[in-house]
Amino acid sequence: GNVWQFEGVKVETGQQASSFRNSVRVTGTKTLGALTAKVVAETNPDGLQQAVQEYLVQDSRGVSNHGNDDVSDVLTPQLLEYRMLRFPLQTGTLFEAVNKTGLNFGDLDGDGRNETGSVLVQVSVAAFEAITVPVGAFVNTAKIETRIITTVTASSNGVKVTLTATQTDWLAPGIGPVKRQTQTSGEAFSETITEELSGYFVDGQGKGAVSLTIA
């Protein structure tokens, strides 16, 4: 039942900046074998106009991702399960969440053969700091940096393309996510997506305008 409302801005090479809204809500639980995952639904992550549900499991060691309901996502099932956070959260700590090669990326170049590649994901606790977003100011937020390096080899000509992305999440005590910024760069391409909290209702306490409907 907890819900967070975000205001987002996307800035991409050669394009005008665009704004969007995204709602995040814990809608229930899902049984995955012997585990019970929380279902976290987003209406419009990264302004992609596509609702997605993720399945997250929290235990004493941290938080891990156990997939989503996006049938077009061919990559995530090959990475599961992977840890998004490792407890305790301590400044300067870093761990390797994913390091896999030989992954199937589907047919990206349209030649009838699937591309292969690799994904490396490293997660670090950069700092604990104060931050101000549209809904207000928060202190002692955990600044989590997730660095993702993706390399894909084109089946048509053997050319390798590398994309580097850094997703930074700010997590406030007792509230959860208050800001997310993803910076992605590759050859002649760069994109920055920022989402900031504009309203929330968490554990019976709320502030700002919040939509309780998940499309």
**pLDDT tens track for 190-199:** 999 999 999 9
| Buried-exposed string 166-196: b where 16+ CB fall within 10 A, e elsewhere | bbbbbbbeebbbbbbbbebeeeeeebbbbbb
* pLDDT score of 215 more than 80: no
Q: Quick one: CA torsion of 24, 25, 28, 30, rounded to 10 degrees?
A: 0
Nearest CA among 71, 158, 154 for reference residue 108: 154
What average pLDDT does the segment 154-171 reach? 95
Count of other CB atoms within 10 angstroms of residue 206: 14
H/E stretch holding 77? helix 76-79
Residue 214 has pLDDT above 50, yes or no: no
Q: Which residues does 214 contact at the CB level (< 8 Å), separation at least 6?
A: 23, 25, 27, 41, 43, 51
Q: Which two tokens stand for residue 141?
A: 């937020």
**6-7-13-14 Cα dihedral, nearest 10 degrees:** 140
Q: What is the pLDDT of residues 20-76, one digit of tens each?
A: 999 999 999 999 999 999 999 999 999 999 999 999 999 999 999 999 999 999 999
pLDDT value at 212 more than 60: no
Query: How confident is the model at residue 76, as a pLDDT?
Result: 95
Question: For the residues 158-184, what does the mean pLDDT come to?
Answer: 96
Residue 164 has pLDDT above 70, yes or no: yes
CA proximity to 22, closest of 3, 6, 39: 6
Mean pLDDT of 157-179: 96
Average pLDDT over residues 108-132: 96
